[in-house]
Structures are given as structure tokens and as C-alpha cells.
């Protein structure tokens, strides 16, 4: 112990912190008990910010994708952790399941990441929202909406956005609530359909105050379009802006500024077509807002990426030639590689430089797959640690023949190394193996 004390005192504290700030979250969590000064340092905003920035700079990214089992109202959603352990393909390590979303009947949506944090939520009447740090395994259930429903009537959450207010260092969630009034005085066949007229109200949640507040909201509203890519750029959330009544003659994009809690709109790119025949996905592209535009139906879809500059002007940045068997873009991976989704909800990785299309062997029964890359983060959310009953982690199960063959190959290689020492009879649950301490002995598995 004396030797440890002397060697530790010889290293300057600044150098020690420079070493620690480059370690993974799992190691830092264990080192909390080394001394009080380390524990306090790990909780400072400067250390947290520097740790996350180093991970981003070195491309130490983790991948999660959404998948599910079951059909229709019995869907059980999962988050599947991916790894690049064998380098030749992205393999799935395990599934993560939040039990609080079991009774929703459909998969939750995911917003983020924001400095390593994710926001998971379900809309509709059974609205639930959770903030989650997958690195520290801390999650926080947000309080219910502060907006009161009409009487008689109810409220539904249509869509939401998640961002960071860098001016005050606060994480915020903005959501759009539809107040739906019911008229029971009319006969059932004469009542208007629920939600036939949009009565949207917007509110913002602050992590610092742990509360919602209603904010002014007029004009265009988000049309509930399910975006598969992350559409948060430089402190702003973006959605496709709808209008009442429909159809909209002038398609626009709605944005929300997390710093001053205000809304604004900007025009769509003039791509020479009509949204009646084309689909789109908003996406972040190297610090700017991008939008993928591609046809609704085609045997081989092409993808045009338009990027907006600070003056709200659009430039076509990338044109991907028609690719057969591809349905949706899902966002970028390192080196500009693009995640894509097939019509049967399989995950692909496209190298735009070589044109190579690689199947990752991840299949889901979700209507649409989501993939999100995050860097490890120590950001606290004042929530609770994952408990066995609230978050379930289990080995990944996959029925894709391609990946099953590769996984069998690596498993067989490891087994050969193990059974070469104790005897191959153990593959079948019994047999004789060599034990250097007890010579030959019958082992039953």
C-alpha cells in the first residue's frame, strides 16, 4: 500500500484526470469508490462534457436499433445493442426491453441521442415518456402532460421533439397535444370523427425543473409524420409542417428552437416533383439539416439528399442511384455509410463510395426500423437505476440464415478450443475428458 501511495503522489492530478477522462463509463463507475475527489470530479459538467467530446472525436460510437416480437396489439418492443466485435459484420449482442411500454400495444418512438441521452415515448391517449442514459443505465419517467382535456373529451399526444438548451445547460422535450372534444348530445351516426379538427397545444418539459409548461403555438402544426432519422440540428427540432384544412398548397418544415422556446417555418426544397408521388425523411447531415427525397413506389428506388444552409436555401448534396429491394433511409453511420431498410424490415448498410450493399442480418417486425448511434456519456438525469422488473436484458435471438451461419462459425471455433482440452464427448452432454488434477473422470453436463 505504501508503494501505491508513493507512485500515486508522483503523478500530477491533472495528468490523472487526463487519463481517466478517456476511460469507458463502466470503468469510471467502478472508480467512484476509489476516493471522494474522483467521485466528485466525475460529476462536474466540465469532466462530463470533455469525456463525451473525446468519445465523439474518436468515433467511439455505440449502435442501437429498434425491433420487436409479436404482431398487432401484442407487440413487445426491444432495443437491440449492436457491436463490431468481429469487424466483418455488425453483430447483435443483446435485447433491452422496457416493461413500462408493454401495455401500449405498439412500439414506442425514439428521439435522440442528445449528448448520449435518449427519449423514448408513445403518443396517443396512453402517452408515456422516458429519458434514458444507456451508458449509465439510468432512466427517468417524465410526469404526465399538464394540459387538461376538454369536458367531455380527452387529449392525445401527436408527436414530440427532444433537444438541449446550451444557454442554460438544460435538456428539453417539446410535445404537441391534441384536445379532442366529444359531443354526446348528437346521435352516434351524426357525431363528427374524433380529431376531425385539430386543436393543438404545445408544451415544453424541462429536466432542470422536472415540469411541463404550455407555450404559445399558432399556425402550422406537425402532421404526425413518422421520421426514421434524427431531425435535430444545432439546437432545433424539425418536422414536416401540416396545415388545417388539408391538403396544404405550400409544403413547409416546422422547427422549434430549444433556447428561446419559439416556432418557425422554412420552405421545402424545390426538387421538381410533388409530395403526392414522393416520400421524404428529414435527417442531420454533418451539422446541417438534410432531407432525403425518394419515390413512393419503384422497383429500385433512388435517393436524393438535399441540404439546407443558414439562409434557408437548399442544395442537392448527394444522389444515390436506384437500389433494388430498399424501402427507407435510416441515417448515416461512420465514413458517410448509410443505413437502409428493406420492405421486409431488414437492416442494410450502403457504402456510397463503392456502391456496396451489405446485409446486417437484423430483422424486425416493426413497421419501420430505427437505428441510432450514440457516444458514451455520464450525463445525469436524476432518475432511477435500471431494475430487474423495469428493464429486461436478454440475449439477442435472430432467424436470419446469413448471420446465424456466421455466428455458428465463431461459436464452433470457440467450442473447438474448449472441447479440445476436456473432450468432444461433452458436446452431447456426457463423455470423458482429461483433468490434469484428477486424470480421467466422467463429467456430466
pLDDT per residue over 31-70, tens digit each? Answer: 988 889 999 999 999 999 999 999 999 888 888 888 776 6
pLDDT given at position 72: 59
Tell me the residue length of the chain: 445
CA dist 330 → 111, 134, 199, 333, 356 (Å): 13, 20, 31, 10, 17
Mean pLDDT of 91-118: 82
> Higher-confidence residue: 252 or 47?
47
Question: What pLDDT is recorded for position 203?
Answer: 94
Domain presence at residue 227: yes
Condensed to tens digits (0 to 9), the pLDDT of residues 332-373 reads 887 788 899 888 888 888 887 888 888 877 777 666 678 888
Confidence of residue 180 (pLDDT cuts 50, 70, 90): confident
Residue 383 pLDDT grade (very low, low, confident, very high; cuts 50, 70, 90):
confident
Which residues contact residue 46 at a Cβ distance below 8 angstroms, ignoring those fewer than 6 apart? Answer: none
Region 304-320: mean pLDDT is 89
| pLDDT in the model for residue 225 | 66
Is the pLDDT reported for residue 201 higher than 80?
Answer: yes
Question: Are 284 and 424 within one domain?
Answer: no
| CATH code of 387's domain | 2.120.10.80
284 to 40, 305, 306: CA distances (angstroms): 35, 11, 11
Whether 303 maps to a domain, the answer reads yes
430 and 329 within one domain: no
Name the least confident of 66-80, 194-208, 379-393: 66-80
* Torsion sign, CA atoms 30, 33, 37, 40: positive
Most confident of 189-198, 311-320, 395-404: 311-320
Residue 102, pLDDT score: 76
Q: Assess whether 436 and 345 both reside in one domain.
A: no
Residue 33, in any domain of the structure: no
Q: Are residues 80 and 140 in the same domain?
A: yes
CA proximity to 38, closest of 80, 413, 49, 27: 27
Higher pLDDT pick, 7 / 350: 350
Q: Are 257 and 264 in contact (CB under 8 A)?
A: yes
pTM score, whole prediction: 0.80
Q: Rounded mean pLDDT of the chain?
A: 78
In total, how many domains does the chain have? Answer: 2
Structural domain range at position 429: 404-442
Determine what percent of the chain is predicted with pLDDT higher than 90. 31
CB atoms within 10 A of CB 292: 23
Examine the domain organization and report whether 221 and 316 are in the same domain.
yes
Domain match, 433 and 305 both? no
Query: What is the pLDDT, as a whole number, of residue 116?
Result: 94
Question: Among the listed ranges 115-124, 179-188, 406-415, which one has the minimum average pLDDT value?
Answer: 406-415
pLDDT at residue number 77? 78
386-402 tens-digit pLDDT: 876 678 787 776 544 44
Among the listed residues 285, 270, 277, 364, the one whose alpha carbon sits nearest the alpha carbon of residue 318: 285
| Whether residue 371 is found in the same domain as residue 341 | yes
Q: Is 115 left (phi over 0), alpha (psi -120 to 50) or beta?
A: left
Rounded Cα distance, 375 and 346, in Å: 24
pLDDT reading at 195 higher than 50 = no
pLDDT digits (tens, 9 = 90+) for 421-440: 334 333 333 333 333 333 33
pLDDT value at residue 54? 95
Q: Which residue has the higher pLDDT, 109 or 425?
A: 109
Amino acid at each position: 500500500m505504501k508503494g501505491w501511495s508513493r507512485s500515486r503522489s508522483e503523478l500530477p492530478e491533472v495528468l490523472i484526470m487526463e487519463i481517466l477522462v478517456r476511460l469507458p463509463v463502466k470503468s469510471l463507475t467502478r472508480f467512484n469508490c476509489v476516493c471522494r475527489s474522483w467521485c466528485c470530479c466525475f460529476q462536474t459538467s466540465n469532466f462530463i462534457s470533455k469525456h463525451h467530446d473525446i468519445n465523439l472525436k474518436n468515433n467511439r460510437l455505440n449502435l442501437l436499433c429498434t425491433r420487436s416480437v409479436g404482431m398487432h396489439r401484442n407487440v413487445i418492443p426491444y432495443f437491440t445493442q449492436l457491436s463490431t466485435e468481429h469487424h466483418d459484420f455488425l453483430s447483435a449482442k443483446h435485447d433491452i426491453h422496457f416493461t413500462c411500454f408493454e401495455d401500449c400495444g405498439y412500439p414506442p418512438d425514439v428521439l435522440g441521442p442528445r449528448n448520449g441521452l435518449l427519449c423514448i415515448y408513445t403518443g396517443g391517449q396512453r402517452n408515456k415518456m422516458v429519458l434514458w442514459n444507456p451508458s449509465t443505465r439510468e432512466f427517468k419517467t417524465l410526469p404526465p402532460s399538464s394540459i387538461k382535456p376538454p369536458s367531455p373529451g380527452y387529449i392525445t399526444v401527436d408527436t414530440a421533439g427532444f433537444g438541449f438548451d446550451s444557454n442554460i445547460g438544460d435538456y428539453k422535450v417539446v410535445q404537441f397535444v391534441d384536445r379532442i372534444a366529444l359531443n354526446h348530445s348528437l346521435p352516434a351516426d351524426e357525431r363528427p370523427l374524433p380529431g376531425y379538427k385539430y386543436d393543438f397545444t404545445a408544451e415544453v418539459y424541462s429536466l432542470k425543473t422536472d415540469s411541463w409548461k404550455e407555450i404559445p403555438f399558432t399556425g402550422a402544426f406537425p402532421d404526425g409524420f413518422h421520421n426514421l432519422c434524427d431531425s435535430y440540428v444545432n439546437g432545433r427540432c424539425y418536422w414536416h409542417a401540416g396545415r388545417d384544412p388539408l391538403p396544404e398548397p405550400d409544403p413547409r418544415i416546422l422547427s422549434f428552437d430549444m433556447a428561446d422556446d419559439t416556432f418557425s417555418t422554412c420552405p421545402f426544397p424545390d426538387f421538381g416533383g410533388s409530395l403526392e408521388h414522393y416520400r421524404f425523411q428529414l435527417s442531420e447531415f454533418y451539422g446541417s439539416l438534410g432531407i432525403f427525397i425518394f419515390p413512393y413506389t419503384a422497383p429500385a428506388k433512388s435517393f436524393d439528399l438535399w441540404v439546407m444552409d443558414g439562409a434557408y436555401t437548399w442544395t442537392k448534396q448527394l444522389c444515390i442511384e436506384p437500389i433494388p429491394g430498399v424501402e427507407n433511409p435510416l441515417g448515416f453511420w461512420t465514413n458517410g455509410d448509410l443505413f437502409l431498410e428493406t420492405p421486409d424490415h431488414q437492416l442494410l448498410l450502403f457504402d456510397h463510395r463503392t456502391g456496396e450493399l451489405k446485409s446486417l442480418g437484423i430483422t424486425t417486425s416493426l413497421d419501420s426500423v430505427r437505428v441510432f448511434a450514440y457516444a458514451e456519456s455520464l450525463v445525469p438525469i436524476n432518475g432511477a437505476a435500471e431494475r430487474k422488473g423495469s428493464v429486461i436484458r436478454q440475449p439477442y435471438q435472430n432467424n436470419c440464415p446469413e448471420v446465424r451461419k456466421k455466428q455458428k462459425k465463431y461459436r464452433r471455433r470457440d467450442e473447438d478450443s474448449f472441447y479440445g482440452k476436456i473432450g468432444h464427448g461433452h458436446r452431447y452432454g456426457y463423455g470423458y475428458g482429461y483433468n490434469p488434477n484428477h486424470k480421467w473422470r466422467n463429467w456430466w453436463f
